[in-house]
Chain A
């Protein structure tokens, strides 16, 4: 097996430790969930969250909505929205705030046994995005500006990709399906490239997905790339040794980028190169047919009809930059 033993042992230890503490805690009986509150109690406006010390001794309480929407009630305690500040699910004094904070008070809805839906909000299309943004207009990154982002439209909204109540249990961020499937729904050519091309990143399995390189909430101008916090291509997040700086830089961060030579979405060629022959890839720039471009001097007098010279990187191994060799030989 490939994984470092201590890493897996750490995981095991973590879960084991949690179980021991949990078992120890079970010696003190925990309060059972109280019955659902009455509709009248449920209509009470959401109270601010009590201080942690106040919460400790209080009994757990389910929102009244769960009496009917039982399936939602089962799943919701694990939902990140159950931890909304000031609206914590199942905590005394909070009542129906977790449901009401998005769906409205629902008083008439409850009083009519579900017939009247006039005071219950359901979300679809742009209204969904707008409502989510009342909280999720995050300022944590420079590009968290969904309204003008690449995915702001009538056909796509927050609920196109996320589901508050029926998300895929094994996915983070409340995604409706596995993240790569969500993206493939619209970006079929890229998904087909990942599936079909023999040399491709292992997307959707083992921790890498579309969002590893792209920010779905980002802007169109840079293809919503998930740049490093310091403005570098996302490739550098993993391929850190290509970052440099080098004394003898090649393409990256000079005039081109990783994509000058590589196709990250899957390639027919080894190393995900954009050409099947390396010599042609190199000569396309280094051809001295125009004096106006950078790096266009010819690569010596190599006879590329000989197989020995058909793969430039056989000798010029340090194509990503070198500190030792101006010709990138080492």
Chain B
């Protein structure tokens, strides 16, 4: 672990410890070290789990009504952090304020994105490991909002969001009838500053927000050392395709002012009216510079051989989005509510690109004369889309132990797309005008009495036509839930969901089925013992005919999954010592068979007042066997953690002890 990163974490712990020692602050902290041992394919492990070895603050909670002893400034403060440290994802949030004066909220999240799959993104599967497309990037999201004078008639609002994403990667680039591996470094930042106010005059309330969003990206590429021969090792038109250098840099800038207005009015005690308007207008300017040297073949652009390429591009795109919505909510009777909503949404996008490409030292298939040829590409694209939605709902929230819900939504889409230049491959069928109407019918009922709950929901979608080939014409979704709890001994639940979608139109013949069901059991035979069992099954089958491009024959694209999950676990309190263990196995057949075994074990031993040591072992075993070609991504990952939990706040400790077995929520009365 890098020392520079460890230092602040240790400082944080010391500061927190200092506070806790000096004050009776509500602080709970869990921190320690995680060890890692992976056998097998490390890159598959990192692509899926990516928990690494190092220092980790698993949890920190700090809350106070009077954190600085100055009640005129702060009367509440709360800080919650989780998984801060070695990653792969961690976050914290902070809330602070003075009632009626201000509220400040801050959220931070860091997530590491890693992908290097051995088989998936590899054109030479299974001969080459690892895959050609890899990245190891970090995303940092910061979100702050300040609300001034909350609860007053006018409440000014200030907000700021920043989303940064950066890191190296490896990608491929198709040029001159071959693909070459490129190293990439991507860095972008998306930020938004917003300003506005909320108002509440009693019967009428609302808010207005104006935001300014800014996106900046730099993406640079260079030929991977040693990758000069490309993916294709065979000569094309008698020459070997090679690249001696490829370099490219793109800069992208997007500015988007955004507006949101919302007004709610109440007429009497039964009617509420809501209206909103949202608008965003984004403009993107992008530039590119590319230089490549080598020995290439161009078929479509100039139908020649060439030895170098210099390209510059300047592009501009714009998108305007607005949505207006009106909604009425009416209390028909006690517990019976009716709502109706109408919304219209519009998105218009237009794009322009001017690309200047200089093919250097070109020659025809028969000539050796090497002139340079410049090609100008000017593209204009546009897309215009309207969505009009009418939605109505009726809820009857209690007829004794019963509740009913019904709804209907009509969604009309009108879409016009200009033909784009991808038609230079095979023209036709791209672009045009499309429209689609979807009627959605929803219904649901539940019965709940004495810890027993039975609930069922149905959603049916009926569309008149498809815009994309995989759009359904008919879709039906069923969901049911059965649960029974006898507090505090037993909780049983059974859940299921089935979705079918189809499009019988000639030339499409799309069909999809997903069927998931499972049961959970939690049993407490005696107070210190909790047993848990879970079993579930997942079935999926999707099929649609496709045209095979090399011979224009028709084949069936099918995707199948057949997964079974079995899980079991137990918790045991032996005096002050808490033991917990679980085991889970998921076996998935179908198009990409694999199985995963997961084992978890932990022990928590109190060592001092409000202090405990936790030992933990997590094991994940992944085995895949795609297409009977043997496993490429198999790994066996063991993580061992040693953590210290420290809760100087007595109430928090009590709550934690009570939380060893939280009661099922439905029956709880306050």
Contacts and interface: CB of A to CB of B under 8 A. Distances in A.
A22 interface: yes
Interface stretch (A34-42, A61-69, A305-313): A305-313
Interface string A153-169: 11110011101111011
A125 B668 CA distance: 9
Contacts of A9: 8, 11-12
A47 interface: no
A189 B536 contact: yes
Give chain B's interface secondary structure class: strand
Contacts of A188: 493, 495, 518, 520, 536
Contact of A139 (B8, B15, B16, B262): B262
Contacts of A155: 403, 446-448, 453, 455, 666
Interface in A4-47: 4-9, 11-16, 18-19, 21-26, 30
A315 B171 CA distance: 9
A311 B286 CA distance: 27
Contacts of B272: 145
Interface string A87-130: 01000000000000000000000000000000000111110111
A282 to B, nearest CB: 9
A161 B668 CA distance: 10
Interface string B194-236: 0000101000011101010001010000000000000110000
Nearest to A78: B63
B397 A153 contact: yes
A164 B670 CA distance: 7
Interface stretch (B367-375, B416-424, B605-613): B416-424
Contacts of B425: 297-300, 327
Interface stretch (B77-85, B358-366, B571-579): B77-85
A224 interface: no
A313 B133 contact: yes
Contacts of B22: 19, 22-23
Contacts of B355: 324
Nearest to A128: B670
B527 interface: no
A3 B110 contact: yes
B505 A290 contact: yes
A177 B661 CA distance: 10
Contact of B11 (A12, A292, A309): A12
A56 B389 CA distance: 53
Which size class do A's interface residues fall under? 35 or more
B386 interface: no
B550 A25 contact: no
A274 interface: yes
A239 to B, nearest CB: 8
A270 B395 contact: no
Interface string B127-149: 10000110000111100000000
B669 A123 contact: yes
Given A55-B71, A196-B563, A270-B120, A154 B401 contact: yes
B207 A154 contact: no
A159 B670 CA distance: 8
Given A4-B140, A247-B353, A276-B592, A308 B231 contact: yes
Contact of A293 (B200, B397, B466): B466
Given A78-B63, A148-B393, A160-B666, A139 B407 contact: no
Contact of B110 (A2, A187, A303): A2
Given A153-B444, A168-B659, A241 B188 contact: yes
Contact of A195 (B335, B397, B442, B584): B584
B89 A326 contact: no
Interface in A192-229: 192-193, 195-199, 202, 205-208, 219-221, 229
A147 interface: yes
A129 B397 contact: yes
Contact of B430 (A219, A280, A283, A297): A297
B115 A206 contact: no
A2 B651 contact: no
B153 interface: no
A330 B289 CA distance: 12
A154 B318 contact: no
Contacts, number: 604
Interface string B445-462: 011100001010000000
Nearest to A175: B665
Give chain A's interface secondary structure class: loop
Interface stretch (B237-245, B273-281, B302-310): B273-281
B109 A244 contact: no
Nearest to A316: B174
A159 to B, nearest CB: 6
A276 to B, nearest CB: 4
Given A15-B62, A253-B347, A230 B393 contact: no
Contacts of B264: 139
Given A3-B85, A238-B141, A229 B258 contact: yes
B409 interface: yes
Given A155-B666, A290-B507, A330-B173, A268 B561 contact: yes
B349 interface: yes
Given A15-B12, A139-B205, A293 B469 contact: yes
Contact of A206 (B90, B276, B278, B584): B90
Nearest to B430: A297
B398 A126 contact: yes
Contact of A1 (B9, B279, B507): B9
B429 A296 contact: yes
Which of A26, A192, A245, A260 has the largest number of chain B CB atoms within 10 A? Answer: A245
Given A305-B550, A329-B173, A176 B8 contact: no
Contacts of A83: 75-76, 99
A109 B667 CA distance: 23
Contact of B209 (A206, A229, A323): A229
Given A139-B206, A186-B495, A206-B111, A240 B481 contact: no
Given A196-B596, A297-B422, A304 B138 contact: no
Interface string B301-332: 00000000000010111110101010101010
Contacts of A229: 209, 211, 258, 260, 278
A192 B315 contact: no
Contacts of B171: 317
Interface in B173-200: 173-174, 179, 188, 190, 198, 200
Given A154-B402, A230-B260, A255-B467, A8 B84 contact: yes
Contact of B172 (A88, A176, A314): A314
Contacts of B641: none
B150 to A, nearest CB: 9
Nearest to A169: B655
Interface string B387-423: 0010101110111011101010100000101001111
Given A176-B668, A196-B563, A297 B327 contact: no
Contacts of B397: 126, 129, 147, 152-154
B69 interface: yes
B467 A1 contact: no
B77 A240 contact: no
Nearest to A273: B120
* Shortest beta-carbon contacts, A-B, top 5: A207-B91, A25-B69, A206-B89, A247-B351, A290-B507
12 contacts: A12-B8, A12-B12, A78-B26, A124-B669, A163-B668, A202-B111, A230-B260, A247-B352, A298-B547, A304-B548, A317-B171, A324-B313
Given A148-B394, A182-B665, 9 more contacts: A3-B8, A5-B8, A193-B538, A220-B442, A293-B466, A300-B426, A315-B173, A324-B353, A330-B173
